[in-house]
Copies of this chain bind each other. A is one copy, B any other.
Amino acid sequence: MSAAPVGTREISRHAVRAELARVAFNRFCLTGFDQVTFADLSEAAGVSRSTFLRYFGTKEDVVLFVFDPVCGVITDALDAERANQDDWSRLRNALESAVRFLVGDVRELVTILGLIEQTPALCARVREKQAEWRPEIVARLQKTTSSTDGSSVIANVRVAAALEVLWIVLGRWGASGGQEDLGRLLDAAFAAFSTPACQQADAPL
């Protein structure tokens, strides 16, 4: 999955990208996403506007590129699991891998989630990523079974639902300042699919 940088060029590019994102992120938190322009960012980072734009195609990417590996993490996790489990269990475990990957720096992730939540443009881009990931995850979910027709409505619905769970849970977790236990939150969310579906009394946290 991981696109580890190989070659000095790639290493350099990766490092520059990280540094630009770091500087930009501070600006966004300070002033607000919409108020900051590429001109501001490039000035703060000490590069030209052209150069900044070469590293990040859009302003949203400057914040959200940290989520790019998540799709790979999920698909890898699905591959690694025993295939005799049911879909929901496999998806739940794969999501646990994803959140474990994301929660490297709790403080940073909480800040990013806060920034996303209060910026419609970022929310929209997040949802776009979510949609991009779905086909690949569906393929992995179905790979171990016989029917690999790739057009299964049920698998698509389940993956879409699971990805919604991911963001709902991350939203909750971020709102709690990173206090709540992500595993419990995932369980509570997935209970929506396993409980009798009549009453929605949340699973005891």
Which A residues have a C-beta under 8 Å from some C-beta of B? 86-88, 120, 123-125, 127-128, 130-131, 141-142, 145, 147, 152-158, 160-161, 164-165, 168-169, 172, 185, 188-203
Contact A156 B127 (CB under 8 A): no
On whether A157 and B189 interact (CB within 8 A), knowing A127-B128, A128-B127, A164-B164, the answer reads yes
Q: How far is the CB of A186 from the nearest CB of chain B, in Å?
A: 10
Cβ-defined contact, A202 with B154, below 8 A: yes
List 27 interface pairs A-B (beta carbons < 8 Å), by A numbering: A87-B198, A124-B125, A142-B200, A145-B200, A147-B200, A147-B201, A152-B200, A152-B202, A153-B169, A153-B188, A153-B202, A154-B191, A154-B202, A155-B200, A156-B168, A157-B165, A157-B168, A157-B190, A157-B192, A157-B193, A158-B200, A160-B161, A160-B164, A161-B161, A161-B164, A193-B197, A194-B197
Give CA–CA (A133, B62) in the complex, Å: 28
- Give the CA-CA distance A22 to B89 in the complex, in Å: 47
Distance between Cα atoms of A130 and B153 in the complex (Å): 19
List of B residues within 8 angstroms of A202 by Cβ = 147, 152-154
| Chain B residue nearest in CB terms to A175 | B151
Chain B neighbourhood of A130, CB < 8 A:
127
Q: Which residues of B contact A165 (CB under 8 A)?
A: 157, 160
